[in-house]
Amino acid sequence: MKKYLYPEKEQWEVLTTRPTQSYADIEETVKAIFKEVQKNGDTAIAKYTSFFDGVIIEKTEVTTKEIEEAINFVSADLKEAIALAKSNIEKFHAAQQTGKVEVKTTVGVYCWQEKRAIQKVGLYIPGGSAPLFSTVLMLAIPATLAGCNEIILCTPPNKNGTVDPAILYTANLCGITKIYKAGGIQAIAAMTFGTQSIEKVYKIFGPGNQFVTVAKQIATQYNVAIDMPAGPSELLVFADTSAVPAFVAADLLSQAEHGSDSQVVLVTTSKAVLKSVESEIKNQLNELPRKEIAQKAMENSKLILVNNIQEAIAFINDYAPEHFIVCSKKETFFVENIRNAGSVFIGNYTPESAGDYASGTNHILPTNGYAKNYSGVNLDSFMKSMTFQKISEKGIQNIGKAIEIMAEAEGLQAHKNAVTLRLKSLKNGN
């Protein structure tokens, strides 16, 4: 842990900088695999699944039998927990539905905005050490609520060619029936171009390692949209003397166990809090099973002492954390003034884990400072807003002259003419 006592504002740029990743090498690999998948489809998928995941898959699509087996395999306790989480996530995302926005801007000019679902979406669930069935909930629930017509899910198979039962169980529970054993770059390429067995989609969602991240960025060059650029997970906690140091330490460590590149930051106005959180971290670290990962992440963590809450919030907005926990007597000040954060957790009994799993909010959030310009995944991520307008004869007479003048001033005569013809026709009583 690195301590910074009353850093000068000149230091902020360094303190808010995340470790840069070299994408240049990866980019070439990604482009090559994209080309191969575009050309050879399923054959290329099988090749790279064998290469990266170390297993030969004969049928990419998960069978009904596999799903049924998964349903039997998952414990009753876990099913109950998932049901609670699903219910809360559904409530929160359903409430995000917005109605038609209708405005009569001028007499006879009716404009409205409506949101309609993106028809084909692809959900990516990473493999690796932790089977992220919670991410299935976070993507499948809003996709279904939005009304997307085709929802497919790709996730890498493990060494024996299967998918974690909890992932299959959760996907099935959310109504996702098209599940494919494909991961990494080749899965993103498959959803971008389509293969014999995997459908092309319009938008790709989900977290992933740096290969998946670069693959998603390359996908955008082929008319596919993505949820957001992803990076290693982050947590920033602001704590004053009202915070429980053991809780703060536990939250910081929960973030650190995600990976050795996780970003963990404490900002405080109290030297005593800084010290006690530091010592709590040391105590708790020893008892974690994923101690090595967490310890490595904690080496890069920052404990920052600042002069006052104004300085604190200015720094936090500059950092733009993915997750922001505030345990402070002045929590209202922070809630009102936070501008850049993915998700905000307020008070001693609101651990980040709650939002990761079961409170109802989404856990796919902007990292790496992207909270300055990106939303976390929400219902609107699965929709697009379209505008409509209907103008009456009276309406075009009301705004027609303005259009003619503006089109003429922009040198667009045919734009003007489209109005002039109509106005003339109305004048002539046609």
Residues 87-126 that bind a second copy (CB under 8 A): 87-88, 91-92, 95-96, 98, 101-103, 105-106, 109, 111, 113, 116-119
Residues of span 325-354 touching a second copy by CB under 8 A: 335, 338-354
Of the two residues 46 and 293, which places its CB atom closer to a second copy in the complex? 293
| Residue in 85, 141, 273, 316 binding a second copy, rule: CB under 8 A | 85
Strands 2-5 and 225-226: unpaired
Residue 58 CB, shortest distance to a second copy, in Å, is 28
Contact between 254 and 351 under an 8 Å Cβ cutoff? The reply is: yes
* From 36, 280, 322, 352, the catalytic residue: 322
Q: What are phi and psi of 179, to 5 degrees?
A: -120, 130
Total residues contacting a second copy by CB under 8 A comes to 130
Active-site hit among 36, 93, 280, 323 = 323
Stretch that binds a second copy, among 8-16, 30-38, 39-47, 246-254 (CB under 8 A): 246-254
Cα–Cα nearest to 124, from 46, 45, 57, 203: 203
* 363 is annotated as contributing to ligand binding: no
Does residue 48 have a known ligand-binding role? no
Check residue 232 for interaction with a second copy (CB under 8 A). Answer: no
Q: Note every long-range contact of 196-202, with CB atoms under 8 Å and residues 24 or more positions apart, other chains counting.
A: 196/41, 196/42, 197/42, 197/60, 197/61, 198/42, 198/45, 198/60, 198/152, 198/154, 199/120, 199/150, 199/152, 200/120, 201/120, 201/121, 201/122, 201/150, 201/152, 202/118, 202/119, 202/120, 202/121
CA distance 392 to 420: 15
Q: Residue 360's closest CA among 385, 381, 343, 373?
A: 343
- To the question of whether residue 124 is assigned a binding role by annotation, the answer is yes
Tokens of 294: 């967490």
Asked about 323 being catalytic, the answer comes back as yes
Question: Which residue in 224, 236, 277, 304 binds a second copy (CB under 8 A)?
Answer: 224
| Per-residue interface string for the shown chain with a second copy, residues 269-308, x marking contact by CB under 8 A | ---------------x--xxxx---x--------------
Under the binding rule (CB under 8 A), the answer on residue 205 touching a second copy is no
Q: Copy the structure tokens of residue 285.
A: 């670290």
Residue with tokens 């498959």, as numbered in its chain? 190
Residue 292: active-site member: no
Does 401 engage in binding with a second copy (CB under 8 A)?
yes
Q: Is 110 annotated as a binding residue?
A: no
Which stretch, 30-38, 50-58, 171-179, 365-373, contacts a second copy (CB under 8 A)? 365-373
Closest residue by Cα to residue 201 from 137, 138, 148: 148
CB 114 within 8 A of CB 202: no
**What are the binding residues for substrate?**
233, 255, 258, 323, 356, 410, 415
Q: Which residues are catalytic?
A: 322-323
Annotated binding site: 124, 186, 209, 233, 255, 258, 323, 356, 410, 415
